[in-house]
Chain A
Amino acid sequence: MLRNRARPDNRGEEPSPESVGELRDTPERPILIGTRRQVRYKPWIMEPHDRGGMSHRSLRPRVALETGNRMGQANLTNGLDSAGRAAAGANPASTPRRARVGVSLIALIAWLLAGLIVAPAHAQLFGGGGPGGGGPTLVIENARIITMTGPVIERGSIVIQGGRITAMGTEVEVPRRAMRVNAEGKTITPGLIDVSGGLGMDVEGQAGSGALRRAIDGFDPFNELAFDAALRNGVTALYVGPRSGNGFAGTGAVVRLARRDDGGRGVVLNDRFDFVIDFTNGDALNRVEAFEQARAMFRAALNHRDSLDEYEEKLTEYKEALKKFIEEYEKKQAEGDKADTAPATQPQPRGRGGRPGQGGRGQQDENKGPDKPTRPDPNREFDLLLEVLDGELRVRIRAEKDADILNALDLAERLGLSFTLEGGAESWLVASQLAERDFTVLLGPTIERVIRFNTNQPRLHSGAYSTLRAAGVTTLIGSNGAASGSGLGTRFVLETAQIALQHEPGPNPGMRALRMVTVDAARYLGITNQAGTLRRGGTADLVLWSADPTQGPAAVEQVYIDGRPAFAARRRGGQN
């Protein structure tokens, strides 16, 4: 039964703060979504030297091809082509087997030769390929490195090979032929992360509601302008939520803004993260209605489970009854054999709708089997809601007003649910209730509205974060992207955190703001292996700032994703 299965406080899988630095690397399995399109890189994203950052391996055949043409070796080109196909596992069935082997051999030799000619020059230009062939070796030197896991490294270097950080510190061995970047006076941090974003969701339009909807289906991986805007501000990973819909809004997703094979951006780290219930739309009555509907749907899902359980029980009873019936029938049959009188009909176990037996009415009752129970119709929405109730999928409730937050708490109480509160503009008013239940708040921007034009506008409070913290509520800061149309607030997730921390006592609020939108956010999103920290063996998603962003104003100069330049600011006069 549900009540035994529900695990409202199941958070065991979240790593503790101490363990983040020791996490082992799990191979990343990017899930590609959308249609596979060949899109040429937009010039404003890819700087000319970026091309050197492309996969060493994938570049080589192309360079070889060009060389082949220059040398006027048509065969070489052909050979390369089929070698490529052979390597790709294609089966040119039309070619005779021997010819195929021959061509392949020639192709292989040609490919190796071409590689030999081109490789040295190539290596000189772009540096040696990393162990995984994921890009050239890159060394960023003399930077202040904020790792988020250990102490700040002054004048340190980071070595990046194959898209990963292979060495980091003040005394690192610089590999030969590495591309070196002098970052004197600059600061390196991990890429920033938004725990409540909505970027790239422009194609979604104004959404309705429905539990089965998935944010990732509305995510446009080719929205270069939006991603450029995010990268320009140092954001490299984010949660994307479904567009606002009253009540059940669907499931969110976690994306890294890495380049995809099809030219888009946004490699999905988790395409099913948090089940979103929205209590932010419309006026107060609409929101209460949404709350009532949500409660009714959860009740219906529970009833569905009960009727399934009931069905199982009835099915077992039925099976036993049927067995007994058959046994009796066979016994009767045996007796009949002895009496040498054959039965008029076969036994007829009754299925759906109680199909009548073939015999006449008088005989039917005699041969009638037990009634087979009817299975309740499958319902995917209920299945999902039950998964949510079992704690297998975390709930994220969007609510801004205090009354809606209290309703959310009521819903959680009745159903034994645990949830994360997104937005939570007025959460500071109900901080003690939130603290009692140990729920996390993903607070949105907190700058107050001085003039509220109607009471429907939530009462934002600059000291909201401090109030929640003082009450003991675990609080993270996000852009609350679902609340805005474009989700472009993701760009300023660090600034949002800084403002939220204005009234926090204690030293270095700038560093704490950075921590919140890097390592803390990664921990919440369960992506500590891919983002949020800088450590040996970790993914090289990093931001090079003009100055230390924890101490003062700083501009993003470079962003690297998988060790490849993903954004570079151009700063000459007014041209940015």
Chain B
Amino acid sequence: MTHSMSQSNLAHPSPDSRTGSRVSAKTSHRPTVSRLAAAFLLGVCSLTAAAEAQRTVLIAGHTLMPDGSLERGQAVVVERGRIVAIEDADRFSDNDAGVHRFPDHVLSPGLIELGSSLGMRGNQTGGTEPIEPGLRAADAIDVHDPTLRLALEHGITAAMVLPDPSRIIGGRAATFRTHPGRGALGPTVELLNADGPAFLSMGPQVLDFNYGPTSRAGAAFDLREGLRQARQAGSPVADLLPHEQGIIALCASIEDVDLILTATTEAFGGAEGNAGRLVLIYTPDDPTVVHDLAQEEVPFVVGPLTFSTPSVQLLAVAGLANAGATVAFSNRTPLLHPDWLRTSAALSVKHGMDPAAARRGMTSAAAEVAGIGTGAIRVGAEADLVLFTGDPLLLSSRVDAVFIRGERVHGVRPSVADIGESEGAFQGGAR
């Protein structure tokens, strides 16, 4: 590798840095012929360089692996926005171009928030029908919401938003990047999964209506009726359910869990159970039932868990994970600060949850629930990465840098490898 290749995306965070156009701008004072020739030559060179320059190697003190463990000595090789290899860090020397070492840091996949309201303020409510299968949460996201940036700076690179929870059958959830994409008219929402799981709600909001169901029995009837319609060809619910993306259901109590499990089994047949096509948004509050819940083999979305959450709830969450259920965290960002996502996981660990499971709950398990391809540092995944100053579960750790598809979009300049220093943490914080 030549020295020019050290001009990686990392050093040039601007998402639209096109080397070719910059070079041609520099040479604009030359006579036309030579300018064209020079532009051509330089263009070819820089194209070659750009292709190879996209190769970036990130070597952190610890790397968060897909199983949730933290491992030393991993080199994450990123090319064209994807992770192309995970190799032994010793294979790379500090002098290799594109190598960036962060000996005191932890490299984590971008965190995923499952119960987000990011970009959704005032955008969710509309209509009065308890069953509105056509709604898409993706249509409601406001890319100019400033709290998206706040979430990004605190390590949340993707968020799932749900349709209005006051509807029993309320359309599709959507998952998007908190970092905007670049469209012809400015920033655009970069959807990771526009047609996510179908959303069922048995939350208390369902009964808040002056119209629609005003009792639990009424809501249960509407739910069953809606699911029954799903089996009739041509009904709008049939398009929504069943769906390869499955169902995500909001439950306020254990009775709601029971209702959802029974109703979906009734509607779609129960031979193979609900495994693989149902996710429950439910924070258990009774440690004695978590074994039974884990038997259902459905993932649970829990949280947010804060300093005022009762101990019994924290114990139940930890117990549910330890009993073998997949547990992922939600945070209601920005109603709560994005840091509460990590706090939810940390408090669960303090009450007995396996730390690896808690890390997965913010990354790979959350990605699985949202049906997206990021959320893990594995070969082939898009390189949405976060550099923490320590274990993300240790709350004194902070975010020092965020990468979207391998490009640094926030945080410290990774100057260590560039200036040839052998060790040391970076100065300055995330803000």
Q: List 10 A-B contacts (CB under 8 A).
A: A229-B311, A488-B310, A488-B311, A492-B347, A496-B307, A498-B396, A502-B397, A510-B396, A575-B287, A576-B287
Residues of chain A in range 446-465 having any CB-CB distance to chain B below 8 Å: 447-451, 462-463
The secondary-structure label for the interface of chain A is loop
Contact: A553 with B350, CB < 8 Å?
yes
Interface residues of B in 242-298 (CB under 8 A from A): 287-288, 290-291, 294
> CA separation between A536 and B291, bound complex, in Å?
44
20 new A-B contacts, CB < 8 A, other than A488-B311, A502-B395, A552-B390, are A232-B351, A445-B307, A447-B340, A462-B339, A486-B308, A496-B307, A499-B343, A499-B396, A502-B429, A503-B430, A512-B396, A552-B355, A553-B350, A553-B391, A555-B352, A571-B352, A573-B291, A574-B319, A574-B320, A576-B352
Report A494-508 CB contacts with B as 1/0, cut-off 8 Å: 011011011101010
Instruction: Say yes or no: is B20 at the interface (Cβ < 8 Å to chain A).
Output: no
A445 to B396, CA, bound (A): 13
Q: How far is the CA of A73 from the CA of B323 in the complex (A)?
A: 53
B97 to chain A, nearest CB (A): 30
What residue of chain A has the Cβ atom nearest to residue B336's Cβ? A450
A559 touches B (CB below 8 Å): no
Q: A residues within 8 A CB of B27?
A: none
Query: Taking the complex as formed, is B427 at the interface, i.e. its CB lies under 8 A from any CB of chain A?
Result: yes
Pick the contact of B349: A503, A555, A574 (CB < 8 A): A555
**B229 interface residue per 8 A CB criterion:** no
Bound complex: CA A503 to CA B318 (Å): 29
Whether a CB of chain B sits under 8 angstroms from the CB of A518 is no
Query: Which chain A residues lie closer than 8 Å to B340 at the CB level?
Result: 447
> Is the CB of A91 closer than 8 A to any CB of chain B?
no
In the complex, the answer to whether A495 meets B307 with C-beta atoms within 8 Å is yes
Do A447 and B343 have beta carbons less than 8 Å apart? yes
Bound complex: CA A229 to CA B394 (Å): 21
Distance between Cα atoms of A573 and B315 in the complex (Å): 12
CB < 8 Å: which of A449, A512, A552, A569 contacts B391? Answer: A552
In A485-531, the 8 Å CB interface with B consists of 486, 488-489, 491-492, 495-496, 498-499, 501-503, 505, 507, 509-510, 512-513
Asked if A232 and B396 make an inter-chain contact with CB atoms under 8 angstroms apart, the answer reads no
In the bound assembly, the distance between CA atoms of A571 and B321 in angstroms comes to: 12
The answer, yes or no, to whether B159 is at the interface (CB within 8 Å) is no
Beyond A499-B343, A510-B390, is A450–B318 a contact (Cβ under 8 Å)?
no
In the complex, which of the residues A228, A513, A569 contacts B396, with contact meaning CB atoms closer than 8 Å? A513
User: Which residues of A536-576 have CB atoms within 8 Å of chain B's CB atoms?
Assistant: 551-556, 569, 571, 573-576
Residues of B within 8 A of A358 (CB): none
Question: What's the Cα separation between A478 and B108 when bound, in Å?
Answer: 30
B147 is contacted by which of A228, A450, A484, A573 (Cβ under 8 Å)?
A: A450
Are A489 and B308 in contact, with the CB atoms below 8 A? yes
What distance in Å separates the Cβ of A518 from its nearest Cβ neighbour in chain B? 15
A569 engages B352 (CB within 8 Å):
yes
Asked if B18 lies at the interface with its beta carbon under 8 angstroms from chain A, I say no
- Per the 8 Å Cβ criterion, residues 293-335 of B in contact with A are 294, 307-308, 310-311, 315, 318-320, 322-323, 333-335
> How many angstroms between the C-alpha atoms of A551 and B395 in the bound complex?
10
Report whether B307 and A450 are in contact in the complex, using a CB–CB cutoff of 8 Å: no
Does B385 belong to the interface (CB within 8 Å)?
A: no
Looking at the complex, which one of A489, A507, A553 makes contact with B394 (CB distance below 8 Å)?
A: A553
Number of residues from A at the complex interface, CB < 8 A: 44
Q: Tell me the complex Cα distance, A495–B307, Å.
A: 9
Residues of chain B within 8 A (CB-CB) of A488 are 307-308, 310-311
A555 with B315: CB separation less than 8 A = no
Query: How many Å from the CB of A554 to the closest CB on chain B?
Result: 7
Contacts of A556 in B (CB 8 A): 350
Query: Given contacts A232-B311, A491-B311, A573-B322, is CB(A450)–CB(B334) below 8 Å?
Result: yes
Instruction: Say yes or no: is A479 at the interface (Cβ < 8 Å to chain B).
Output: yes
- Chain A contacts for B350, CB-based, 8 A: 233, 495, 553-556
B404 interface hit (Cβ, 8 Å): no
Give complex CA distance A463, B428 in Å: 13
Taking the nearest CB of chain A, how far is it from the CB of B332, in angstroms? 10
- Inter-chain contacts of B346 with A (CB < 8 A): 495, 553
The complex places the Cα of A424 from the Cα of B307 at a distance, in Å, of 18
Say whether chain B's binding surface is mostly helix, strand, loop, or mixed. Answer: loop
> Is A495 within 8 A of B287, CB to CB?
no
Residues of B within 8 A of A569 (CB): 352
For B397, the chain A residues whose CB sits under 8 A away are: 502, 509
Asked whether A576 and B355 contact (CB < 8 A) given A491-B307, A495-B347, A502-B396, the answer is no
The 3 closest A-B pairs by CB, nearest first: A574-B319, A574-B323, A509-B396
Contact present for B335 and A451 (CB under 8 Å): yes
* A229 CA to B315 CA, complexed, in Å: 11
Report B-chain residues with C-beta under 8 Å of the C-beta of A451.
147, 334-335
Q: Note all chain A residues with C-beta closer than 8 A to B347.
A: 492, 495
A510–B310 Cα distance when bound, in Å, is: 25
Q: How far does the alpha carbon of A386 sit from the alpha carbon of B129 in the complex, in Å?
A: 67
Residue in chain A with minimal CB distance to B319: A574
> Which residues of chain B are near A463, meaning CB under 8 Å?
431
- Answer yes or no: B36 CB below 8 A from chain A CBs: no
User: Is B398 among interface residues, defined by CB-CB distance under 8 A?
Assistant: yes
A233 to B291 alpha-carbon distance, docked (Å) = 24
- The minimal Cβ–Cβ distance linking A37 to chain B, given in whole angstroms, is 25
Interface residue? B393 (CB, 8 A):
yes
B323–A447 contact, CB under 8 A? Answer: no
Q: Closest CB of chain B to A504's CB: distance in Å? A: 8
The answer to whether A553 and B287 touch (CB under 8 A), given A447-B340, A499-B339, A576-B315, is no
Bound-state CA distance A502–B398 (Å) is: 6
B168 within 8 Å of A (CB atoms)? no
Query: Nearest CB to that of B394 among chain A residues?
Result: A552
Chain B, 349-366, CB within 8 A of any chain A CB:
349-352, 355, 358
A574 and B287: CB pair below 8 A? Answer: yes
> In whole Å, how far is A575's beta carbon from the nearest beta carbon of chain B?
7
Are A551 and B394 in contact, CB atoms less than 8 angstroms apart?
Answer: yes
Is B337 part of the binding interface, using a Cβ–Cβ cutoff of 8 Å?
A: yes
Q: Within 8 Å CB of A554, what residues of B?
A: 349-350
How far is A513 from B334 in the complex, measured between Cα atoms in Å?
26
Asked whether A448 lies within 8 Å of B337 as measured between CB atoms, the reply is yes
Q: How far is the CA of A448 from the CA of B340 in the complex (A)?
A: 10
Cα distance A505–B350 in the bound complex, in angstroms? 26
Q: State how many angstroms separate the Cβ of B427 from the closest Cβ of chain A.
A: 7
Neighbouring B residues of A507 by C-beta, 8 Å: 425
Report chain B residues within 8 Å CB of A555: 349-352
In the complex, whether B140 has a CB less than 8 A from a CB of chain A is: no
| Cα of A513 to Cα of B311 in the assembled complex, Å | 22
Residues of A within 8 A of B238 (CB): none
Q: How far is the CA of A335 from the CA of B393 in the complex (A)?
A: 99
Q: Which residues of chain A are near B319, meaning CB under 8 Å?
A: 573-576
Nearest B residue to A463, CB-CB: B431
A227-270 interface mask toward B, CB cutoff 8 Å, 1 = contact, 0 = none?
01100110000000000000000000000000000000000000
Which residue on chain A has the smallest CB distance to residue B62? A552
Question: A226: nearest residue on chain B (CB-CB)?
Answer: B311
